[in-house]
Chains A and B, each alone.
Chain A
Amino acid sequence: MELWRQIFIHGMDMFNLLIVSYFFIGNGVYTLLMVLSLATVWLYNRRLSYQDMDEIRESPVTPPVTIVIPAWNEEQIILETTTSTLQTDYPELEVVVVDDGSTDSTLARLINHFHLVKMDLIYRPHIPTQAVRGFYMNPEMPNLLVVSKESGGKPDALNAGINVCRTPYFCTLDSDSILERDALLRLMRPVIHSPVNTVVSGGIVRVMNGCQIRDGRVTEVALPKSSLERFQVVEYLRSFLFGRTGWDLLGGTLIVSGAFAVFHRETVMEAGGFAHDTVTEDMDLIVQLHHWAAGNKRRIRMSFTSDPVCWTECPATLKMLGKQRRRWQLGLCQTLWKHSEMLFNRKYGMVGTFSFPFHLYVEALGAVVEFLGYFMVPLAIIFGMVPAMLYLLFVLLSLAYGGLLSIGAVLLEELTYRRYPAYGDLARLLWFAFIENLGYRQLVLYYRFEGVVRFLTGSWRWEKVTHVGVTQ
């Protein structure tokens, strides 16, 4: 009995240490990222004063780009997305919408709206995909091509888009997203100006819920009405403005949102295209590209820029939020597991030595540690192993520090882009940043924990998030 008691006490001690290390490593790195991002984004914003868009728009050496939009049952929003994409300000632009075997009227709406006709065009499957059912074009609108194919999932649809794409770069865009007019020009700037081959360029994704949309454009930016959506606004700001920016500065980019990113076509094809064996094909491709570059001794660059904006619809219900977060967490675990040889591998530079271990420990396993912590630590208090006061203080510290990081993200937004002009919206944003750690964080943590459980139990199915459509 004594032995079991000792094992229990030691186990609890170890777990407490794990919690404390998770807290300090996680928050320490996040603080570093926040400080770096504050400096970088402020500086970048200043540098914008002498970065002329006309130069890129008018230059004959600006490379043409194809925007690939994979769509599955997106009848609510597909027309707005396609219309806004076609209005994108870019000198040579093609748009490819890949209908991945939708069972609703996604394809029909596109055909009717853009007066498309079915054509039997040549399809060269450089990357293998499900069979293509047909191509739809309007000869009067040669820069729009709709591909209808058998359902094979988002990566398959993206691969089909790459197969029909003819330009050196392609941009992936989620079918529930709306691009700002000059977003692509801004996204291509690092590609054009970098002396190193930039194979990926990611932009910022912002929450469209609550905004006014007219003719495929966001005409008025405002906060959404529901608390759930407002929390996500804060989350997106934190994730994109200081998470991605910070990792980019450190050269440890492991995630670029496939909702809006530009890729070098040849490189992606050489790396094998989007893989089907994870549910977050965008993250998997980024890690795969690191892998490919190290294996082939290629010097490549992945860039993140915080001013090209893509607006997206975030989940408006708990059910949809759960589906989204479970998928993200499952995909993270799958990708890290798939590329586990990169862990602490100096061959992969900053990614292998710092970014990959951080994502594994804090982002993937952290969900388990934090979730269990909510049960284990009270257990330790009951057994008299941790004083209640210390536990309470620690919980308060974690809440206050979480709030600090979220408010830091709002400050970053205010120092740079100031997309929410109303004072009321700013105050609400700060309030939701402050209280985000009381309830919402735990809710998301639960979904993340479920994602890890699904990974461990092999329940690796894609959960579709359906959108209500926020267009007006």
Chain B
Amino acid sequence: MPFLIENVTKVVLALFVLAVLGNFFLIAVVFLRRRRRQKYFSRVDALRERYGSIIAGVISGCIAYPDGLDELRQISSPDRLFMLERLCLEKKPTLEEEPLLRRLCEDLGLVKIWQQRLMGRIDQASLREALINPQGLLRRVKFLHFLIRSKSAESLGLIRHEPSWPLLVKALEDPNPDIQMVAVRALAAIHHPGSFLPLTEQLHKAVLGSSSSLSVRAVKAALVSFPLQSAAELGPSLRHPNSRVRFLATDIIKEMVEAEASGKTDFRLDRNNFDEETAGIFLTDLPFDSNPDVRARAAPVITFLDDPRAASTLFTLLEDSVWFVRLHAVRSMARHRFLSAGDRIARALTDANWRVREAAVRTLRGFGRPGLDLLTSHFLATRDRYSREQVADEFQRVGLIPELLMRCAETGNGRETAVLRNMAEMGKTSYMISVLEDGEGKGKLRKSFLRQFGRYPDPQIHQWVEQVAVKEPDVDVRSLAQEALAATQQRGEG
């Protein structure tokens, strides 16, 4: 106890005083910070008000370029560059605005500074500047230089400054992960063909573990954004001994092709847009790769190849021993030109794996009415319970039940009635009941349904019929329901 009483009292008192002072100090810092931020933002607002419209006018061509440039050169303050940078890059430029913004940044000297900073040539701020200005602090403390360098790389990418690509490639080897990551992004924005190979090397490094700071996903995203013509340079990667490299290269080409094909219904890969040698690898090597991931990712590219061997290769992949290869093969055939292969796709409806079955249903559904007919025929003919479940699932998800009920009411005893009967047998009646219950003007639908299914031994249907028999305002419908109910009761008693 003497230890606690005599020695500790003074220490505790000292700590208490320190803690109280600390409290007041932090409170003061909070208010000072708030004040400084307010001053900073009012300055930015004032500059934006004065020069924002000039920058917008210059890059949109509304203001004569030399006049605008002269005005902007008048900004004078210690943080002039920072303010100019902020004003110029406040909004992401459109494609049309980019050339003038690039020129403006070059003429204002920003590009040169960004390039210098990216390379690590940063003018050191004085101690005073570091204390009063956060930008000064960044320039003063060497450990924080990576923030300025990364921001510079980002700015060069934002204006797509093509001549800077070699510097950005150099930055890929920087030890700082942020600089590497931003350089990857900037190169992806600039799309210079010369940077594709260095990025591919980064991908190899990331996969093979010799570079741990870049994520595979980040490099992949950059490579995917290049035009399809660059895909040829991934040839060596497609033949790389490491199966993960092959997989990623295949996946990147797949993404490039899908981006190119997006919105073009009859897009094909031919010698005009796709390297012949690469196409050959996709037809002869990749479908037989030892890594199933490679085989799976090759399928969507093969789909687009303008080659007579493409269809048969896809059929081979449809029969692959690994389920997700079959899955990708089925998914990739969701194009109208494979409608003629509908029967082959329909075989996948009875696949052992539910995801393949589901993909087959969606692929066929994507063919529109002919695909739906195929699905309906399969649904009515198959005895495979799981396959029927899958098709019924899709019929509901895409909202087909109201249409089926309508057609059933119109045609009487057609295929639609058979589909609904099968679904009722499977106990999938919730959606039908929801349609019948919902809203007015469903008299015809209800009558038809009561005639066809009113006596069906399904608990949900029975419950609905009971309700209709009591509450339905339409006399005809109500009496049909009462008849159905009486028949069910008779059957039950019998």
Instruction: Give the interface of A toward B (CB within 8 A).
Output: 13, 16, 20, 43, 46-47, 49-50, 52, 54-55, 59-62, 117-122, 124, 134, 137, 139-140, 142, 192-195, 385-387, 389-390, 393-394, 396-397, 400-401, 403-404, 407-408, 410-411, 414-415, 418, 423, 426, 430, 434
The distance in angstroms between the C-alpha atoms of A54 and B91, with both chains bound, is 12
- How distant is A372 from chain B, measured CB to nearest CB, in Å? 18
Contacts of B396 in A (CB 8 A): 119-121, 137
Measured between C-beta atoms, what is the minimum distance from B382 to chain A in Å?
16
Q: Is chain B's binding surface mostly helix, strand, loop or mixed?
A: helix
CA of A181 to CA of B69, assembled, Å: 37
Contact A193 B23 (CB under 8 A): no
Contact B16 A400 (CB under 8 A): yes
Chain A nearest Cβ from B232, distance in angstroms: 20
A13 to B5, CA, bound (A): 12
B220 at interface (Cβ–Cβ under 8 A)? yes
Contact A49 B151 (CB under 8 A): yes
Cα separation A195 to B205 with both chains bound (whole Å): 11
Which residues in B have some Cβ–Cβ distance to A below 8 Å? 1, 4-5, 8-9, 12-13, 15-16, 19-20, 22-23, 26-27, 29-31, 33-34, 37, 92, 138, 144, 147, 150-151, 153-154, 178, 181-182, 185, 206, 212-218, 220-221, 224-225, 255, 258-259, 354, 389-390, 392-393, 396-399, 426-431, 433-435, 438
Chain A residues with CB below 8 A from B23, complex form: 400, 403-404, 407, 434
Query: A16–B431 contact, CB under 8 A?
Result: no
Extra contacts, 16 of them, besides A49-B151, A120-B431 (Cβ < 8 A), are A43-B147, A50-B182, A54-B92, A61-B221, A117-B431, A117-B435, A120-B428, A122-B354, A140-B399, A192-B218, A193-B217, A195-B213, A385-B1, A400-B16, A400-B19, A418-B34
Across-interface contacts of B5 in A (CB, < 8 A): 386-387, 390
Residue in chain B with minimal CB distance to A118: B430
Task: Among A120, A142, A385, A426, point to the contact of B429 (Cβ < 8 A).
Answer: A120
**24 A-B pairs in the complex with CB atoms less than 8 angstroms apart:** A43-B147, A46-B147, A47-B178, A49-B151, A52-B185, A60-B255, A117-B431, A117-B435, A119-B430, A120-B426, A120-B429, A120-B431, A121-B393, A122-B389, A139-B398, A193-B215, A385-B1, A386-B1, A390-B5, A403-B19, A404-B26, A407-B30, A411-B26, A434-B23
Measured in the bound complex, the distance between the Cα atoms of B372 and A128 in whole Å is 34
> Given contacts A61-B224, A61-B255, A142-B397, are A415 and B16 in contact (CB under 8 A)?
no
Q: A120-B431, A195-B212 are in contact. Are A52 and B397 (CB under 8 A)?
A: no
Q: A390-B4, A400-B20, A414-B33 are in contact. Are A407 and B26 (CB under 8 A)?
A: yes
Q: Name which of A119, A394, A414 has the most chain B CB atoms within 10 A of its CB.
A: A119
Report whether B8 and A426 are in contact in the complex, using a CB–CB cutoff of 8 Å: no
The contact of A390 among B9, B144, B431, B435, by CB within 8 Å, is B9
- Once the chains bind, are A122 and B215 in contact (CB under 8 Å)? no
Point out the residues of chain A lying under 8 angstroms from B9, CB to CB: 387, 389-390, 393
On chain B, the residues within 8 Å of A423 by CB distance are 34
List chain B residues, Cβ under 8 A from A59: 221, 224-225
Q: Which residues of B contact A137 (CB under 8 A)?
A: 396-397
Q: Which of B13, B27, B138 contacts A430 (CB 8 A)?
A: B27
- Asked whether A397 lies within 8 Å of B19 as measured between CB atoms, the reply is yes
B224 interface neighbour in A60, A404, A415, Cβ under 8 Å: A60
A422 vs B73: C-alpha distance when bound (angstroms) = 36
- Whether the Cβ atoms of A404 and B22 lie closer than 8 Å is yes
Q: Is the CB of A119 within 8 A of B397?
A: yes
Nearest opposing residue in chain A for B146, CB measure: A47
The residues of A that contact B147 with a CB separation of less than 8 Å are 43, 46-47, 49
Which of chain B's residues have a CB closer than 8 A to the CB of A140? 399
Cβ of B12: which chain A residues have Cβ within 8 Å of it?
Answer: 390, 393-394, 397
Contact B4 A415 (CB under 8 A): no
**Of A43, A60, A61, A390, which is in contact with the most chain B CB atoms at under 10 Å from its CB?**
A61
Q: Chain A binding site: helix, strand, loop or mixed by DSSP?
A: helix
| Contact of A430 with B397 in the complex, beta carbons under 8 Å | no
Closest to A111 in B: B434
Q: How far is the CA of A393 from the CA of B399 in the complex (A)?
A: 72
Q: Which residues of A contact B151 (CB under 8 A)?
A: 49-50
How many Å lie between the Cα of A137 and that of B435 in the bound state? Answer: 13
**Given A121-B397, A195-B215, A407-B26, also A134-B430 (CB < 8 A):** yes
Chain A residues within an 8 Å CB radius of B399:
139-140
Q: How far is the CB of A340 from chain B (nearest CB, A)?
A: 32
Q: Are A393 and B13 in contact (CB under 8 A)?
A: yes
The residue that B16 contacts in the complex, of A47, A61, A397, A418, with Cβ under 8 A, is A397
Whole-angstrom distance between the alpha carbons of A415 and B26 in the complex? 11
Q: How far is the CB of B8 from chain A (nearest CB, A)?
A: 7
Distance from A135 Cβ to chain B, minimum over Cβ atoms (Å) = 8
Q: Given A50-B150, A426-B34, does the pair A117, B434 have CB atoms closer than 8 Å?
A: yes
Q: In the complex, what residue of chain A is closest to B428 when comparing beta carbons?
A: A120
**Which residues of the other chain, B, contact A134 by a CB distance below 8 angstroms?**
430
Q: Is the Cβ of B30 less than 8 Å from the Cβ of A118? A: no
**Which of chain A's residues have a CB closer than 8 A to the CB of B392?**
120
Task: Give CA–CA (A62, B34) in the complex, Å.
Answer: 37
Per CB-CB distance, the 9 closest pairs between chain A and chain B, nearest first, are A139-B399, A400-B19, A50-B154, A118-B430, A120-B428, A117-B434, A397-B16, A119-B396, A59-B221
| A52 in complex: contacting residue of B13, B154, B212, CB < 8 Å | B154
On whether A193 and B397 interact (CB within 8 A), knowing A387-B9, A393-B16, the answer reads no
- What's the Cα separation between A16 and B8 when bound, in Å? 13
- Residue from B15, B182, B434 whose CB has the most chain A CB atoms within 10 Å: B15
Most chain A C-beta atoms within 10 Å of own C-beta, residue among B147, B259, B435:
B147
The CA of A411 and the CA of B27, in the complex, are separated in Å by 8
Name the A residues within 8 Å of B435 (CB-CB): 117
Contact present for A124 and B212 (CB under 8 Å)? no
Minimum CB–CB distance for A6 against chain B, Å = 13
B37 / chain A contacts, CB cutoff of 8 Å: 418
Contact in complex: A16, B26 (CB < 8 Å): no
Shortest CB distance B403–A (Å) = 11
A49 to B158, CA, bound (A): 12
Chain B residues in 8 Å Cβ range of A61: 217, 220-221, 224, 255
Known: A193-B215, A430-B27. A401 touches B19 (CB 8 A): yes
Most buried by A among B29, B354, B426: B29
Residue pair B215, A408 in contact (C-beta under 8 Å): no
Q: Considering residues B181, B212, B255, B430, which has the most beta carbons from chain A within 10 angstroms of its beta carbon?
A: B430
In chain B, what residue has the closest Cβ to A55?
A: B185
Closest to B15 in A: A397
Chain A residue nearest in CB terms to B5: A387
- Chain A residues, CB < 8 A from B216: 195
Q: How far is the CA of A407 from the CA of B24 in the complex (A)?
A: 9
Across-interface contacts of B259 in A (CB, < 8 A): 60
A118 near B431 (CB under 8 angstroms)? yes
Q: How far is the CA of A385 from the CA of B1 in the complex (A)?
A: 8
Q: Are A414 and B393 in contact (CB under 8 A)?
A: no
* B181 engages A193 (CB within 8 Å): yes
B34 touches A414 (CB 8 A): yes
Q: Is the CB of B218 within 8 A of A193?
A: yes
Residue of A nearest to B17 (CB): A400
Q: Report the Cα distance A284→B221, complex, angstroms.
A: 34
A428 to chain B, nearest CB (A): 12
Residues of A within 8 A of B431 (CB): 117-120
Provide the bound-state CA to CA distance between A43 and B137, in Å: 12
Q: A193-B218, A396-B16 are in contact. Are A408 and B429 (CB under 8 A)?
A: no
* Given A60-B255, A403-B23, A404-B22; A47-B150 close (CB under 8 Å): yes
**Chain B min CB distance to A228 (Å):** 22
Instruction: Kindly report which residue of chain B lies nearest to residue A396, judged by CB atoms.
Output: B16
What residues on B are CB-neighbors of A55 within 8 Å? Answer: 185, 221
Decide: A410 and B30 in contact? CB cutoff 8 A: yes
B27 and A407 form a contact (CB under 8 A): yes
Q: Closest residue of chain B to A434, judged by CB?
A: B23
Q: Which residues of A contact B427 (CB under 8 A)?
A: 120
Measured between beta carbons, the chain A residues less than 8 angstroms from B16 are: 393, 396-397, 400
Q: How far is the CA of A124 from the CA of B354 in the complex (A)?
A: 10
